[in-house]
Amino acid sequence: MSVAETVTTTPRSGRLKVAAITIVGIGALVAWVLTQMSLVSFFAQVLNGLSFGAILFFLAAGFTMIFGLMRIANLAHGGFYLMGGYVGITTVLVTGNFFLGLLAGGASIMVLGVFAERILLRPIRGLEKPEVLLTIGLTFVIGDLSLAVWGGDPRQVQLPEFLKGAINPFGTFFYPKYRLFVLGFAIVLGGVLFYIDRRTKIGAIVRAGVDDRETVAALGINIKAVFTAAFMFGAFVAGMSGVIGAGILALLPGQDFEILLFALVVVIIGGLGSLEGAALGAAVVGLIDSFAKALVPELSFFTLFAPMAIILMVRPTGLLGKVQ
């Protein structure tokens, strides 16, 4: 079933109205938020939201690519994040090198991802629901084994010296260096991914595969190798983002599901199967979460409900999802 068949589309005439209402709504929301906090803390919350969004973007980019190509909603992505983070933390503790930790977190989960794709998922390839259910079973195993190995205490990654502390560019505005590093990292990675997606042969194959797998296979491209590569990429980035995320949010059992929720909302809002959708959704969800945590901490999960509900009602494929 293609993406288009699973949903109904909004007629074009309604779109302008929807866009106008959205802009007015967001404007009113920002105005209200500005009455609640100073401009400096507003700016800080924007950066907080975007740096959390950066982590969500790493996760959602892999998730959405795997889904676009293989139609597998990999619910083990949260587990990948958690376990990758733990492996990274341990590696940094042992070697003292943060970047080696990133690599180890990514590589270990990449191996796990290849195992999951080749051994577990291949026998049920094409069976949509069993694939999803299998990945959720995998999440339980990953989460529980992580608990067995790393215990239940919150753990943070040891940051390198040059990323510790805060910068103070204007004399009055302190901001943690690490969060800016995460944001920069996401922008660079996003740029590279967009370049690969738009300008290289690999990107062309992936985009073609998202649109029409049979034709790509008929053109002589080994689609199975593309699938495995996509899964490896998604798993690597998920594991790496766990290490990066462990510098901002302490890792603890249960966070696999929490981060999975955020990643799902990102792709539901942004639209499945598109890199732009992942970037936009991650920014939106990151910002909503950061302002919600500052203004209405008790409702901070609930605030994801409203935008998700609205988008599902007006545009079930998400903001930038493919509508054919």
Among 83, 87, 109, 134, binds other proteins (CB under 8 A): 134
- 112 and 80 in contact (C-beta within 8 Å)? yes
Per-residue burial over 64-81, b = 16 or more CB atoms within 10 Å of its CB, e = otherwise? bbbbbbbbbbbbbbbbbb
Closer Cβ to other proteins, 107 or 109, answer by number = 109
Out of 29, 127, 166, 188, the residue judged to bind other proteins by CB under 8 A: 127
| 96 lies in the site for other proteins, by CB under 8 A | no
How do strand 175-176 and strand 166-167 relate by DSSP bridges? antiparallel
Which pair of tokens denotes residue 246? 């462990």
> Phi, psi (5° rounding) for residue 155?
-130, 140
Rounded CA gap, 205 and 69, in Å? 10
List CB contacts of 46: < 8 A, sequence separation 6 or more.
Answer: 287, 290
Residue from 14, 27, 96, 137 binding other proteins (CB under 8 A)? 137
**Binding residue for other proteins, selected from 7, 100, 189, 287, defined by CB under 8 A:** 7
Say if residues 281 and 73 touch (Cβ distance below 8 Å): no
Looking at 46, 204, 312, 323, which residue binds other proteins (CB under 8 A)? 312
Q: How far is the CB of 140 from other proteins (least distance, A)?
A: 3
Report, in Å, the least distance between residue 156 CB and other proteins: 21
Question: Among 33, 47, 120, 208, which residue sits at the site for other proteins (rule: CB under 8 A)?
Answer: 120
Does 153 interact with other proteins (rule: CB under 8 A)?
no
Could you say whether residue 302 binds other proteins (CB under 8 A)? Answer: yes
Q: Give CA–CA dist 270/147, Å, rounded.
A: 32
Of the candidate residues 100, 114, 132, 221, the single one contacting other proteins (CB under 8 A): 132
Angle at 78 between CA 74 and CA 254, to 5 degrees: 140
- Residue closer to other proteins by CB (options 143, 234) is 143
The H helix count followed by the E strand count for the chain is 12, 2
Among 123, 169, 171, 220, binds other proteins (CB under 8 A): 123
Query: Binding to other proteins by residue 118, rule CB under 8 A?
Result: no
From the list 6, 13, 38, 172, which residue makes contact with other proteins (rule: CB under 8 A)?
Answer: 6
Q: Would you state the structure tokens that stand for residue 60, as one six-digit string?
A: 């959602």
Residue 228 interacting with other proteins (CB under 8 A)? no
> Of 119-127, 151-159, 165-173, 197-205, which segment contacts other proteins by CB under 8 A?
119-127
Applying CB under 8 A, the span of 84-92, 140-148, 160-168, 198-206 interacting with other proteins comes to 140-148
* Phi-psi sector, 253: left (phi>0), alpha (psi -120 to 50), beta: beta
If the CB atoms of residues 70 and 244 are measured against other proteins, the closer one turns out to be 70
**Torsion, CA 259, CA 268, CA 272, CA 254, rounded to 10:** 20
On the CB side of 100, CA atoms within 13 Å amount to: 9
For residue 94, how many C-alpha atoms fall within 13 Å in the half-sphere facing its CB? 9
The site for other proteins (CB under 8 A) is made up of 1, 5-8, 67, 71, 73, 75, 120, 122-130, 132-134, 136-145, 148, 213-214, 217, 223, 254, 257-258, 260-261, 264-265, 267-268, 272, 297-302, 304-305, 308-309, 312-313, 316
